[in-house]
Amino acid sequence: MYRYDEFDAAFVRERTAQFSDQVNRRLTGELNEDQFRPLRLMNGLYLQLHAYMLRVAVPYGTLSGRQMRKLAHIARTYDRGYGHFTTRQNIQFNWPRLKDVPEILAELASVEMHAIQTSGNCIRNVTTDQFAGAAADEIIDPRPVAEIIRQWSSLHPEFSYLPRKFKIAITGAPADRAAIRFHDIGLQAATNAAGDVGWEVWVGGGLGRTPMIGKMINGFVPNEHLLAYLESILRVYNRYGRRDNKYKARIKILVHEEGLETIKAQVEAEFSEVRGGVLTLPQEELDRIGSYFAPPSFEDLPATPIDIARETILDPAYGRWLDNNIFSHYRPGYASVTISLKPIGGAPGDATDAQMEAVADLAERYSFDELRVSHEQNLVLPHVRVADLRAVYDGLVEAGLAEGNAGLITDMIACPGLDFCALANARSIPIAQAISHKFAAPERQAEIGDLKIKISGCINACGHHHVGHIGILGVEKKGTELYQITLGGDGTEHASVGKILGPGFVADAVPDAIERLVDVYLGRRETPDEPFIATVRRLGDAPFKEALYGTT
């Protein structure tokens, strides 16, 4: 993985000093909250319902054991003993004190981490496939380019006060595990006629109040011109994106209102000016950054089939874990392991300091000291020998992290909701917990198979409900929290936005409503292999609507 050199270290050190000065000016009152807000937001510091929240960047979701230990240390020392992994592959601490923040940042800097641009109207942390560099279906490892984009976008002087936040996701595999079509810019590896690998550029996707699927603005941008192309898009957006209404300020609205062709013409005109200029990426630079992401020293192992049926008979919980939490690795004899942060009844994405340390141990022992955070709020050990899976599993059992539910109905995304968030209209975590309890039985989950439930506590959609196969949106009506249910969303390469089925439900009625939807699916699927989303697409909303609201 990427390692800081002196330049990177000095950069983060200076940025930490700069932000510490801003914190001190706030503490002395020289800055008022209005003046401090955009500054703290440039550094991931939010003011939540109860306290400040610090969001720490995990660039493209990649961590070392040492870094994870530092996060554990911060959780223990400055917070309440846990952290929350987010849908943008970052981690949030919910209870830091403002005066401690400079110290926390210094701690982070000591392990090459920071909170730069984890919030604010700037280019946010670049996210990617959690299996990048390990997945069997990958065309190219996107992390070197993600790192280059991270560097290019860090404290970019022109793009630090954009109309609104700006999120870039990149994937090197045809199967989109990074939801690139729901980002301001999505990059998907593509190959041109000459066989060169470059990038399909998607623009104007997003969730929030106005969900939009990104549109392809360019089918192939070679590596050497990628930054020039990104700068062109950002400049068009910075100049022409709406600033009159924060809810219409994302680039998706600009693309939607102006039309893709207009925006494309503006971007291409800008690109023709900057193309071939200082932003041209030299191959040596790509190679140099790429060398940090060279494959670890894998052993030459024979392909090692995993006999899940046999293991299930011996140890059903382990069998389930193998069935759901193992992902194919491109190297024979290796696998990627998803560590579920969705225990039955838990808060999705939370991990305690002890759990973080346990995971760091496992990464160091079994995964070449590498860890990933997934956008579905789980952790990943990317490079585990198949022969070590049992040992890893046993370690996870000990840490309380061995839930074998990755991709199943209890592997939900949920935003922090009204329990923490100042924007929320409704609670999210308790809803997730109630559904989790409802479907706790492993056999039931296995029978249902792949089903993504995503829960947001308000229309800002941090819980990605629009792209949940079943989405749940908390709203507030006349002082009551109600939950609208959407159906048919999909964040992958088959992108679609879920449709609202009808009037909302009170919190207590939500698990039953979900169960009725699941029952329709189980009763109507053509074969046990037809996944939920396929059945929904085949049947349409009608039978599900009827299950919720009866015949009209």
- Which of 3, 157, 297, 528 touches another protein by CB under 8 A? 157
Site for another protein in 226-255 (CB under 8 A): 235, 238-239, 243
Q: Is residue 443 part of the contact set for another protein (CB under 8 A)?
A: no
Rama region for 83: left / alpha / beta (φ>0; ψ in -120 to 50; rest): beta
Diameter of the chain measured on Cα atoms: 68
- Which of 97, 99, 110, 158 touches another protein by CB under 8 A? 158
- Give the nearer residue to another protein in terms of CB position, either 14 or 512: 14
- Give the nearer residue to another protein in terms of CB position, either 246 or 494: 246
Output the 3-class SS for 404-437: CCCCCCCCCEECCHHHCCCCCCCCCHHHHHHHHH
CA distance 241 to 385: 48
- Give the nearer residue to another protein in terms of CB position, either 36 or 95: 36
Q: Is residue 424 part of the contact set for another protein (CB under 8 A)?
A: no
- Which of 45, 162, 212, 458 touches another protein by CB under 8 A? 162
Rama region for 357: left / alpha / beta (φ>0; ψ in -120 to 50; rest): alpha
Do residues 413 and 348 touch, judged by C-beta distance below 8 A? yes
3-state secondary structure of 315: coil
- Positive or negative, the CA dihedral 531, 535, 538, 540 is negative
Q: Is residue 262 part of the contact set for another protein (CB under 8 A)?
A: no
Q: Is residue 279 part of the contact set for another protein (CB under 8 A)?
A: yes
Supply the minimum distance, in Å, between the C-beta of residue 253 and another protein. 16
Q: Is residue 106 part of the contact set for another protein (CB under 8 A)?
A: no
Residue 361: CB atoms within 10 Å: 15
Backbone angles phi, psi at 471, to 5 degrees: -110, 145
Q: Is residue 10 part of the contact set for another protein (CB under 8 A)?
A: yes
Q: Which stretch binds another protein (CB under 8 A): 3-11, 207-215, 310-318, 393-401?
A: 3-11
124 Cβ contact partners less than 8 Å away, ≥ 6 residues apart:
88, 117, 118, 165, 166, 167, 168
17 Cβ contact partners less than 8 Å away, ≥ 6 residues apart:
none
Supply the minimum distance, in Å, between the C-beta of residue 29 and another protein. 11
Q: Is residue 77 part of the contact set for another protein (CB under 8 A)?
A: no
Q: Is residue 148 part of the contact set for another protein (CB under 8 A)?
A: yes
- Give the nearer residue to another protein in terms of CB position, either 150 or 320: 150
Count residues near another protein (CB under 8 A).
41
- Which of 2, 82, 131, 159 touches another protein by CB under 8 A? 159
- Which of 194, 278, 303, 314 touches another protein by CB under 8 A? 278
DSSP helix, strand, coil percent of the chain (3-state; round to 5)? 40, 20, 40
How is residue 279 annotated by DSSP? T
CA distance 547 to 539: 13
- Which of 259, 276, 282, 523 touches another protein by CB under 8 A? 282
Backbone angles phi, psi at 94, to 5 degrees: -90, -10
Site for another protein in 22-61 (CB under 8 A): 22, 25, 30, 35, 38-39
* DSSP notation for 118-183: SSSSSB---EE-TTTTTBTT-SS--HHHHHHHHHHHTT-SSSSS-SS-B-EEEESSSS-SS-GGGS
- Which of 1, 281, 392, 431 touches another protein by CB under 8 A? 281
Angle at 189 between CA 186 and CA 194, to 5 degrees: 135
- Which of 3, 6, 245, 526 touches another protein by CB under 8 A? 6
- Give the nearer residue to another protein in terms of CB position, either 50 or 288: 288
Supply the minimum distance, in Å, between the C-beta of residue 358 and another protein. 35
- Give the nearer residue to another protein in terms of CB position, either 15 or 248: 15
Give me the amino acid identity at 501: L
Q: Is residue 161 part of the contact set for another protein (CB under 8 A)?
A: yes
Supply the minimum distance, in Å, between the C-beta of residue 14 and another protein. 4
Do residues 489 and 496 touch, judged by C-beta distance below 8 A? yes
Q: Is residue 539 part of the contact set for another protein (CB under 8 A)?
A: no
- Give the nearer residue to another protein in terms of CB position, either 279 or 434: 279
Q: Is residue 154 part of the contact set for another protein (CB under 8 A)?
A: yes
3-state secondary structure of 109: helix
Q: Is residue 266 part of the contact set for another protein (CB under 8 A)?
A: no
Residue 324 burial class via C-beta count within 10 angstroms: exposed 0-12, middle 13-18, buried 19 and up:
buried
Q: Is residue 285 part of the contact set for another protein (CB under 8 A)?
A: yes
Q: Is residue 276 part of the contact set for another protein (CB under 8 A)?
A: no
Q: State the Rg of the chain over Cα.
A: 23
- Give the nearer residue to another protein in terms of CB position, either 215 or 235: 235
How is residue 356 annotated by DSSP? H
- Which of 261, 273, 307, 447 touches another protein by CB under 8 A? 273
Supply the minimum distance, in Å, between the C-beta of residue 10 and another protein. 6
Interface with another protein (CB under 8 A): 5-7, 10-11, 14-15, 18, 21-22, 25, 30, 35, 38-39, 121, 148, 151-163, 235, 238-239, 243, 273, 278-279, 281-282, 285, 288
